[in-house]
Amino acid sequence: MVFLPSTASATSAVDVGLKRSHVDYSRYLSAEARSRLPNPIKSIWKVAQVKPGTINMGNGDPHHTLYPICEVNFVVPSIDEHDPVQSWRSGTGEQNIISSYKDEPCALSLRTAFAYGAGAGLKDVRDALADLNDRIHSPPNHTVSLSLGNADALTKCFRLLGDPGDSFLCEEFTFSAMTNAALPLGIEWVPIRMDNNGLVPSDLERILSNWDEAKQGKRPHVLYTIPCSQNPTGSTLSLERRQQIYQIAHDWDIIILEDDPYFFLQYDLGVSQSTIQQYGHTRAMAEVLPRSFLSMDYDGRVMRLDSFSKIVAPGMRLGWVTSNSYFADKLDMLTDSSSQHPHGMGQAFVAELLGSNGWGVDGFMKWILSLCNEYQRRRDLFMDVFRQKVATSGFATAEVPQSGMFVWIKINLEHHARFSASQTPTVPGGPTTNTADLMDELFRKLLNNGLVMMPASTFAIADRTGMMGSHINDRVNFFRATFVGTDETIRNGLATFGRTLEEFFL
């Protein structure tokens, strides 16, 4: 179950008023997804797994006795340390070895991990992650499928749900590597306004209620959102906004792609030590982590994407998608005929790590809490140095992020001598300021001084509907900076940033 505080805000009308009824999920699918046939070989393979002892003479699997590997040992931090992340970093803590074997008992035999499998991933791993989901989100009637990380999962979701000419909704600044992946599919993006607290629900409602299908084509039926530490802005949606957004999605029949790689990296949590002592780290963390769209999804309209990239290592390329079983089946069909199942080494590691001979789920959550504490320390250092080296000039400001890895730095261009707020647009609806030009100049000056920060223009979603009201180039006066580097990187980087700003403005 999800351990939410017993308050009125935690049991909104979203929970009480919406009851699951039979939904025809096929209407959300793309033409490609509707026409895709199951991989016939994989279909037979799945049937063969049901009956133990079935003699398999159908597949082209190399026999496990010919695998040139029989054992894999993973050296990991001991979770018995008081602060496992700090002990691991300093080299003062104990280490544990968790092992996967081909011919000896373990959580996931290498015979299985290294063989061909189904697109959804191996059952042992999916069950372990479903258990984690249940403890944190308590999703009603949802299925877990593995992915090669969130980028792989998202591109497949776009193919699953989008046809050429469709319009999808997203934040006006977002992770462009992912939105770009949808463009070759013929999907257009419709940006939604944001403020310091993330996506603005009233703007989402405005866009949907004013949509003219005769002029603009089919009304959007998919919302892509990064609710925690939104990339690039670092904002995190409040519970109230999540409930409002979910209600709007219900009212307008929208599928929510909840891309949440930073979900576990939350700061200033106030975790209860007494809850840890009495019930363990999992319950203590579940009580204070943000409530996900998945946790309130009684309508089966959320496809949630999680990843190990930010909490274990990005090179693992392993994540999981949680959705209704119909979407899960369609997603697995796509994987079975494209990338195939996730890599066995990563699945073996996750199975052992979360198993009884590894950290277990509670030990994993203890590592997460320790990781949060370390990233919070780096965030606090970043903000302290920012105040000393940058903010005193008045040329830039920044909000303190509640989660994730990024600070969204606003450049106060109104103080620049060459800033113009009354330019004549070169095209109807075009920018009325020279913000983009000045920001490009500042970006190049930072590069010349040996510093890279990501300019907001990298993440800006152009409005092709004419519904935004003002051009996004008038609002690109931001940089995305990360605080996850070393203390030296933070200090030296912000010192360079502060000096360059003064050169630029003066």
The shares of helix, strand and coil residues in the chain, as percent rounded to the nearest 5, are: 45, 15, 40
pLDDT at 56 over 90: no
C-alpha of 248 from chain center: 21
Q: Around Cβ 233, how many Cβ atoms within 10 Å?
A: 28
What does the alpha-carbon distance between residue 350 and residue 345 come to, in Å, rounded to a whole number?
9
At 341, is the pLDDT very low, low, confident or very high (cuts 50, 70, 90)?
A: confident
Average pLDDT, the chain: 91
Residue 276 — φ and ψ, nearest 5°? -60, -45
Helix or strand holding residue 495 (H, E): helix 487-505
What does the alpha-carbon distance between residue 36 and residue 159 come to, in Å, rounded to a whole number?
11
Q: What is the pLDDT of residue 319?
A: 95
Of 44-53, 115-124, 388-397, 398-407, least confident by mean pLDDT is 44-53
What does the alpha-carbon distance between residue 269 and residue 114 come to, in Å, rounded to a whole number?
40
Q: What is the pLDDT of residue 116?
A: 85
| Listed residue (15, 45, 23, 123) closest to 347, CA to CA | 123
Average pLDDT over residues 231-258: 97
> Using an 8 Å Cβ cutoff, are 406 and 229 in contact?
yes
Average pLDDT over residues 119-125: 90
Q: Around Cβ 13, how many Cβ atoms within 10 Å?
A: 9
Q: What is the pLDDT of residue 469?
A: 67
> Using an 8 Å Cβ cutoff, are 396 and 390 in contact?
yes
Q: Around Cβ 21, how many Cβ atoms within 10 Å?
A: 8
More confident residue, 170 or 336: 170
What does the alpha-carbon distance between residue 487 and residue 465 come to, in Å, rounded to a whole number?
44
Residue 396 pairs in a beta bridge with 411
Give the type of residue at 367: W
pLDDT at 388 over 80: yes
At 20, is the pLDDT very low, low, confident or very high (cuts 50, 70, 90)?
A: very low
Q: What is the pLDDT of residue 39?
A: 76
What is this structure's pTM? Answer: 0.92
pLDDT at 27 over 80: yes
Exposure class string for 97-122: b at 16+ Cβ within 10 A, else e: ebbbbbeeebbbbbebbbbebbbbbb
What does the alpha-carbon distance between residue 181 and residue 293 come to, in Å, rounded to a whole number?
23
- pLDDT tens-digit profile of 59-105? 778 889 999 999 999 999 999 999 999 999 999 999 999 999 999 99
Q: What is the pLDDT of residue 343?
A: 87
pLDDT at 203 over 50: yes
What does the alpha-carbon distance between residue 401 and residue 429 come to, in Å, rounded to a whole number?
32
Q: What is the pLDDT of residue 45?
A: 64
At 48, is the pLDDT very low, low, confident or very high (cuts 50, 70, 90)?
A: low
Give the type of residue at 471: H
In the Cβ-directed half-sphere of 410, how many Cα atoms lie within 13 Å? Answer: 12
**In degrees, to the nearest 5, what angle opens at C-alpha 136 toward C-alphas 269 and 285?**
25
What does the alpha-carbon distance between residue 56 and residue 50 come to, in Å, rounded to a whole number?
12
What does the alpha-carbon distance between residue 146 and residue 210 come to, in Å, rounded to a whole number?
38
| Listed residue (240, 212, 207, 239) closest to 223, CA to CA | 207
Residue 110 pairs in a beta bridge with none
At 53, is the pLDDT very low, low, confident or very high (cuts 50, 70, 90)?
A: confident
Q: What is the pLDDT of residue 337?
A: 83
At 321, is the pLDDT very low, low, confident or very high (cuts 50, 70, 90)?
A: very high
pLDDT at 15 over 70: no
> Using an 8 Å Cβ cutoff, are 494 and 454 in contact?
no
pLDDT at 326 over 60: yes
